[in-house]
Amino acid sequence: MASADVMNPSTTPAPHTRQIPNAALANVDTVEGLTDTDDQYATYKKLQRQLEYIKLQEEYIKDEQRSLKRELVRAQEEIKRIQSVPLVIGQFMEAIDNNTGIVQSSTGSNYVVRVLSTLDRELLKPNSTVALHRHSNSLVDILPPEADSSIAMLGADEKPDVSYADVGGMDMQKQEIREAVELPLQQFDLYKQIGIDPPRGVLLYGPPGTGKTMLVKAVANSTTASFIRVVGSEFVQKYLGEGPRMVRDVFRMARENSPAIIFIDEIDAIATKRFDAQTGADREVQRILLELLNQMDGFDQTANVKVIMATNRADTLDPALLRPGRLDRKIEFPSLRDRRERRLIFMTIASKMSL
C-alpha cells in the first residue's frame, strides 16, 4: 500500500513542462487585444486632435489672407491716389539711400525727397525723368526718357519723301555726304578693315537756298537709320541748365536708337566763337556749346551715330567745333552754279511739270 501511494518519478511531470489551461491562454489573448485596441484608440484621438488643430490653423490663415488682401487693395488705392495727376515733372539727380534722393524740379530748384518704396531702383538713374508729388515733391513715378523731351525722332512713316534724284546737280556734294554719313552706317566693317576711323560729323555751309536742308532730307530718306532733327535755337531755353540737358537728351536718344543721324540746323545759333560773356544768356549759350563739344567727344564710334550740322555763316563758328574728331568733313554749297548745274536743276524741276 505504501508503494502504491508513492508516485513514480518517471510518470510525474516536471514543473516546467506543466501545460497552461486553455482558459488562461484565452484570457491573455483578450488582455493583449484590449491593449492593442487602447493604443489604436489613443492614436486615433491624437490624430483627430491634430486634424482639428490643422483646421483651426487653416481658418486662421484664410482670415489672415483675407485681411492682407484688404490691406493690399487699400495700399494700391493709396498709391494710385499719390500718383494721381496733376504731378510735377522733375529730374532725378542723385540717390542718398534707398528711401531718399535729390531731385530737380522744373523750376530749377533742388530738393531732398522721399522715394516711393514700390519703384524699381534699377530704373532710377541720374538725369532720368521722374514725376513728383505736387505738394510734398516726393518721387512717385519714373517716366520714360521721351516724356519731358521736346526732341522728336522721325519714325519710318514720317521720313521725308525727297530722294537724291529730286536734288538737281550737286554731284560732288552728294558723293561727299554719302561717303561721310551713309557709308559708315551701312558698311562700318569696311573702315575697320582699312584701319581708319569714319567721320564723326559733317558741316554743310553755304548761302541760304543752296540745297543744304534738301540734301539732308535725301540722306534721311535713303537710309534706314533713325533721324533726329533739331534747330540750334531750340536749345536756348528759359531756365538755366535746360539747354545742356536737351543736348544730352538728343545724343542719348540717338545712342538708344542707333544707327542714328542727328541733324542740327542753324548751328550758328549756339556755336559762335566764345568770348567773355557779360550776361547770363550769353553764358548759358556758351554752356550749351560746351555740352555739345563734350557729347561729340564722348559718344563711342561703334554706336553708329552721325552728326550733320548746317549753317549760313561758317566763319562765325567756334574753332573747337571745327577741329578734326568733331566735324571732320566740311561740304560747301556755292551760290553760283555753272551752266551744267543750272541745266540739271532745271531738268529736275521741269520733270514733275505737265508740259
| Domain residue spans of the chain | 29-65, 88-142, 153-350
Residue 54 has pLDDT above 90, yes or no: yes
Instruction: Report the SS3 class of residue 115.
Output: strand
- Determine the average pLDDT of the residues in 151-158: 69
Tens of pLDDT, residue by residue over 249-282, are 888 888 888 788 889 888 888 888 887 766 767 7
Parallel/antiparallel/unpaired status of strands 153-154 and 226-231: antiparallel
- Predicted local confidence at residue 57, as pLDDT: 92
- Determine the average pLDDT of the residues in 2-27: 48
Higher pLDDT, 65 or 119: 65
Tens of pLDDT, residue by residue over 195-227, are 877 888 899 998 888 888 888 888 888 888 888
- Determine the average pLDDT of the residues in 140-154: 69
Q: How far apart are the first and last CA of the chain?
A: 170
Give the mean pLDDT of the chain: 78
- Determine the average pLDDT of the residues in 23-30: 54
- Predicted local confidence at residue 53, as pLDDT: 92
Three-class SS of 188-256: HHHHHHHCCCCCCEEEEECCCCCCHHHHHHHHHHHCCCEEEEEEHHHHCCCCCCHHHHHHHHHHHHHHH
Residue 87 has pLDDT above 80, yes or no: no
- Predicted local confidence at residue 109, as pLDDT: 76
- Determine the average pLDDT of the residues in 332-349: 78
Please, which pLDDT band fits residue 10 given cuts at 50, 70 and 90? very low
The CATH label, of 3.40.50.300, 3.40.640.10, 2.40.50.140, 3.90.1150.10, for the domain at 153-350 is 3.40.50.300
- Predicted local confidence at residue 61, as pLDDT: 92
Give, for 91, the enclosing helix (H) or strand (E): strand 88-95
Task: Just give the CATH number of 88-142.
Answer: 2.40.50.140
Percent of the chain with pLDDT over 70: 81
- Predicted local confidence at residue 119, as pLDDT: 79
